[in-house]
Structure 1
Amino acid sequence: MIVVGGEALVDLVPVMADDGAPALRPALGGGPFNAAIAAARLGARTGFLSRISTDGFGDSLVARLRAEGVDLGLLQRGDELTTLAVADTSDPGAVQYGFYVDGTADRLITDPGALPDEVRAVVFGTVSMVLEPGASVYDAVLAREAAAGRVTVVDPNIRAALVDDPAAYRARFAERLAHTTIVKASIDDIAWLTDRPEASTFDDVAPTLLAWVDAGVEAVVVTLGGDGIAAITPAGVVRVPGVAAEVVDTIGAGDTVVGAVVARLDLEHDLTVAGIASMSADAWADVLGFAAKAAAVTVSRPGADPPRAAQM
Structure 2
Amino acid sequence: MIVVAGESLIDLVPRENGSPLSPLLPRPGGGPYNTAVALGRLGAEAAFCSRVSTDPFGDALLDGLRTAGVDVSLVQRGPEPTTLAIAAVGTGGSASYAFYAEGTADRLFELPPRLPEAVRALAVGTCSLMLEPGATAYEALLRREADRGVFTLLDPNVRPGLIPDADAYRARFTGWLPSVSLLKVSEEDAAWLGGPPAGAASAPPAVVVTRGSRGLSVRTRAGLEASVPGVAVPVADTIGAGDTVNAALLHALAARGALAPTALDTLDADGWREVLGFAARAAAITCSRTGAEPPYAWELEA
Q: TM (normalized to structure 1)?
A: 0.92
Find the residue that maps to 2:247 and give its secondary structure.
Answer: helix
User: Structure 2 vs 1, CA of residues 192 and 91 (structure 1 numbering), >3 Å: closer, same or farther?
Assistant: farther
Gaps of 5+ in 1: 196-206
Q: Aligned residues, how many?
A: 295
Structure 2 counterparts to residues 73-152 of structure 1, below 5 A: 73-152=73-152
Q: Please name the residue that 1:227 is paired with.
A: 214
1:266: how far off?
1.1
The CA distance in 1 between the partners of 2:273 and 2:22, in whole Å, is 43
| 91 and 188 in structure 1: CA distance in 2 versus 1, 3 angstrom threshold | farther
Residue 170 of structure 1 corresponds to 170
* 1:180-191 correspondence to structure 2 within 5 Å: 180-191=180-191
Distance in 1, Cα, partners of 2:74 & 2:43:
20
Question: What is the Cα deviation at residue 92 of structure 1?
Answer: 3.6
**Matched residues in 2 for 1:44 and 1:38: separation?**
9
Q: Distance in 2 between matches of 1:223 and 1:67?
A: 28
Percent identity over paired residues: 50
The residue number in structure 1 matching 2:161 is 161
Q: What code does the residue aligned with 2:233 have?
A: A
Q: How many angstroms apart in 2 are the aligned matches of 1:60 and 1:289?
A: 32
The Cα shift of 1:235 comes to 6.1
- Aligned match of 1:217: 204
Deviations 1:34-91 (A, max 9, x none): 0111111111100000000000100000000011100111111100000000001124
> Runs in 1 of length 4+ with deviation above 3 angstroms?
none
Classify the secondary structure of the residue corresponding to 1:208.
Answer: coil
Q: Distance in 1 between matches of 2:244 and 2:90?
A: 22
TM-score by length of 2: 0.95
Distance in 2, matches of 1:269 and 1:118, equals 15
Aligned equivalent of 1:200: none
Give distance in 1, aligned partners of 2:91 and 2:242: 16
For 2:43 and 2:170, the matched residues in 1 are separated by 34
1:240 and 2:228 correspond: yes
2:66 aligns to what SS in structure 1? Answer: helix
8 Å Cα contact 2:286-2:294 kept in structure 1: yes
CA–CA distance in structure 1, aligned partners of residues 202 and 223 of structure 2: 17
User: What CA distance in whole angstroms lies between the structure 1 residues aligned with 2:213 and 2:14?
Assistant: 24
Aligned-residue offset at 1:272: 1.1
The partner residue of 1:309 within 277, 297, 301 is: 297
State the Cα distance separating 1:22 from its structure 2 match: 2.5
Match of 1:38?
A: 38
Distance 1:150 1:63 in 2: 28
Query: Does structure 2 retain, via aligned residues, the 8 Å contact 1:178–1:216?
Result: yes
Separation in 2 of the partners of 1:15 and 1:218?
41
Residue 201 of structure 1 aligns with which residue? Answer: none
How far apart, in 2, do the equivalents of 1:92 and 1:56 lie? 33
Shift of residue 134 of structure 1? 0.7
3-state SS, counterpart of residue 199 of structure 2: helix
- For 2:257 and 2:15, the matched residues in 1 are separated by 41
Amino acid at match of 1:228: G
Give the whole-Å Cα distance in 2 for the aligned partners of 1:147 and 1:277.
Answer: 19
Name the CA distance, whole Å, in 1 between partners of 2:165 and 2:207: 25
Q: Give the Å deviation of 1:275.
A: 1.5
Write the letter of the residue equivalent to 2:146.
Answer: A
Q: Which runs of 5+ in 2 are unaligned?
A: none
Distance 1:104 1:49 in 2: 16
